[in-house]
Amino acid sequence: MPVSSALSTALSGIRTTQQQLGVTSGNIANAKSTGYSRLTMSSTAQVANSRVYGVEANQVTREINLLVQKQWRTSQASSAYAETRVNALSALDNYWGAPNSSSSLNAAYGAFNTTLQKLATTPGDTAIQGSAVSSAQTLVSRLNQLSGDVQSLRQEAEVNIGNAVSRVNSLLTTISDLDKQVVAVGAGGTNSTAALQDKRDAAIDELSEYMDIHVTDQPGGGIALSLTDGTQLYDDVPVTLSFDQQGVVDASRTYSTDDTKRSLGTVRISAGPGSGVDLFKSGSIRSGKIAAYKELRDDTLVDAQAQLDTIAATLSKATSTRQASGTTATTATTAGYTMDITGLTEGNTVKVEYTNASGVKGAITFVAYKGGTAPGNGFTPDPNDTVVGIDLTSATDVGTQIANALNTATGGTDFSGSVATSGGTTTVTLAATTVPASHGTINTVTGEISASEQGGYQAYPLFIDGSTGSAYTGLTNGTDTITGLASRISVNPKVVADPSLTVKYSSGTLSGDGTRPQAILDALDSRVYSYSSSIGMGSPTTPFKGTFEGLLSQVVNTQGAIVEDAKNVADGQSVVTSNLKERYDNSRAVDLDTELMSLIQLQNSYSANARVLSVAQELMDTLMNTFR
């Protein structure tokens, strides 16, 4: 090898070693820097005409496990989703309070129940009458507060979606800017883009907390971003998301894929690829914080509100509706029932169980309504009955309407009905024209009829809907007003003004008559009700059944189970994410021992190349001296 070639080769070796030393020193300096990926620089022999004439440094590369990085980002979205849910549900659980807590709903009902028991045994005690009213007010106040707490969590979810969308837009802009820099700098061939890639990765890592994303490598070192369903977020141009946040969230505010019915915000792509796409409607955001906030706002917390509303509705209906039973009335030519329907009002029901001529049993629940659209089968949770409306504004009396429906159901004309009022009592009579009727027979007639404060019945409107001033019946002006009832329920002002109404069911009630408070106790603790599966308990075919106290316990247990399940999911996901994070970090971590060993090797290489330079210089000097 000519001396000049040796000199050139040694110089290239020194230059390459210097560059590698710079990379190693950078690793050592950033060993503890957050988000820093270990860099390496390999070298390649310079070859021409099968002859090595030097060495050159390759481009700086990052040491990072891209497969683990992808897995961690997916798990990060799932962890953020689970953690967001468990935080909100834990707050809700704290609002409910432990079953044995003095501030829990169970405790408030227990105090009310205890006072009623005292009132049933000592009804003439005015102090206990006042305590009964006071404990009733405490109970509804707790329901009002819990309803407010649920809506506060929904409001918080609405606000958090808006904040998350703003942060996502900021991150997409950052990722776009950094990605363009990576491509531009990388186009230079020898310039390192590692630092820019680390910054870009940090932004993508944070983005994965908010939504489930997929990263695709592009030519030139660039990337493309999309949601896991394929919706594009960034490919040269980032999308801009919008969220039409609502100022106030209450029980009446709901999300719908129909914009004309939607009263809560939705996330749309407002600019960039896919502009106009509604990401909530399409279900594109499946994980991450945004998906969790939406699920809480539109499902979990809506169910919690529905359970509170059902508690309030049952409390109001159980105390204000009397259980009416038909009395058999049979003559030589007719058979049927008569029943007291005094006070029948919108939302009250009359249930008729019958057997047709073929021996098949059926049941029709007649629901009183005041014009407009008659209630459908969804009005009751019973999967085996048929709901038929009886229009209180019709010229046809209630008895005739019921008889007509029975004739339709049995395929004949055997049944007739009529209504009569005498001495303030209204009675409906349902009869068959023959004994037995050729097309069927009536088995039972029962009703749930509203009662007044002093109408002579034990039931009375102790708890009312504050917006209507009346007890909840299921219908108000043709609409079911149960949504948000827990926030509106209150104690009847008439009872607050006159606590003796907790005992007196007529002007002639004796002061020692405990019939009314005992009847209220029985209605709450003994009477069994069926509940709609829409509250997250039971199913349409097998609805949950239980007393009011049983409902209360079931709701508390259901909420506790939901929180426990959420915690278990979050804990399990956290372990997975933590393990992947550790693997991810380890794959790009700087090990000082490794770097020091590399430093020694580079030092030796530098010294060797320097020695070659020295020898080459000596040879050149000798050569020059020879010709002097």
CB 100 within 8 A of CB 553: no
The C-alpha atoms of residue 26 and residue 96 are separated, in whole angstroms, by 55
Asked if residue 22 has pLDDT above 80, the reply is no
Asked if residue 189 has pLDDT above 70, the reply is no
Residue at 588: amino acid letter: R
- Asked if residue 610 and residue 493 are part of one domain, the reply reads no
- Asked if residue 478 and residue 613 are part of one domain, the reply reads no
Q: Give the position of tokens 């059902």.
A: 310
Asked if residue 595 has pLDDT above 70, the reply is no
**Listed range (20-29, 118-127, 164-173, 545-554) with the worst mean pLDDT:** 20-29
Whole-number pLDDT of residue 446: 94
**Listed range (108-122, 312-326, 424-438) with the worst mean pLDDT:** 424-438
- Asked if residue 469 and residue 603 are part of one domain, the reply reads no
- Write out pLDDT tens, residues 372-400: 889 988 898 888 889 999 999 999 999 99
Mean predicted confidence (pLDDT) in 562-579: 93
Whole-number pLDDT of residue 437: 58
- Write out pLDDT tens, residues 605-615: 767 767 777 77
Most confident of 30-39, 125-134, 531-540: 125-134
- Asked if residue 326 and residue 431 are part of one domain, the reply reads yes
- Asked if residue 495 and residue 599 are part of one domain, the reply reads no
- Write out pLDDT tens, residues 283-299: 999 999 999 999 999 99
429 lies in some domain: yes
Asked if residue 420 has pLDDT above 70, the reply is yes
Whole-number pLDDT of residue 53: 66
The C-alpha atoms of residue 591 and residue 575 are separated, in whole angstroms, by 25
75 lies in some domain: no
- Asked if residue 484 and residue 605 are part of one domain, the reply reads no
Whole-number pLDDT of residue 146: 96
Asked if residue 264 has pLDDT above 90, the reply is yes
Neighbours of 531 (CB within 10 A): 22
- Asked if residue 463 and residue 325 are part of one domain, the reply reads yes
162 lies in some domain: no
Label residue 190 by pLDDT band (50, 70, 90): low
- Write out pLDDT tens, residues 53-110: 666 766 777 788 889 889 999 999 999 999 999 999 999 998 888 767 777 899 999 9
Q: Which two tokens stand for residue 325?
A: 């039973």
Whole-number pLDDT of residue 278: 96
Q: In Å, how far are 114, 128, 131, 161, 465 from 136, measured between CA atoms?
A: 11, 12, 8, 38, 14
- Write out pLDDT tens, residues 466-503: 999 999 999 988 888 899 999 999 999 999 999 999 99
| Count of structural domains within the chain | 2
Whole-number pLDDT of residue 279: 97
355 lies in some domain: yes
587 lies in some domain: no
478 lies in some domain: yes
Mean predicted confidence (pLDDT) in 442-469: 94
Of the two residues 19 and 366, the one the predictor is more confident about is 366
Whole-number pLDDT of residue 21: 74
Residues present in the chain in total: 628
Of the two residues 440 and 331, the one the predictor is more confident about is 440
Share of the chain above pLDDT 70, in %: 92
- Asked if residue 604 and residue 487 are part of one domain, the reply reads no
Among 502, 534, 562, the domain-final residue is 502
The C-alpha atoms of residue 353 and residue 296 are separated, in whole angstroms, by 42
Mean pLDDT, all residues of the chain: 88
Among 442, 468, 502, the domain-final residue is 502
452 lies in some domain: yes
- Asked if residue 602 and residue 487 are part of one domain, the reply reads no
Task: Give the domain range for residue 36.
Answer: 3-64+594-626
Neighbours of 412 (CB within 10 A): 17
Asked if residue 456 has pLDDT above 80, the reply is yes
Asked if residue 1 has pLDDT above 60, the reply is no
- Asked if residue 361 and residue 473 are part of one domain, the reply reads yes
Of the two residues 405 and 613, the one the predictor is more confident about is 405
Among 466, 485, 502, the domain-final residue is 502
Label residue 521 by pLDDT band (50, 70, 90): very high
525 lies in some domain: no
Q: Which two tokens stand for residue 138?
A: 């405490």
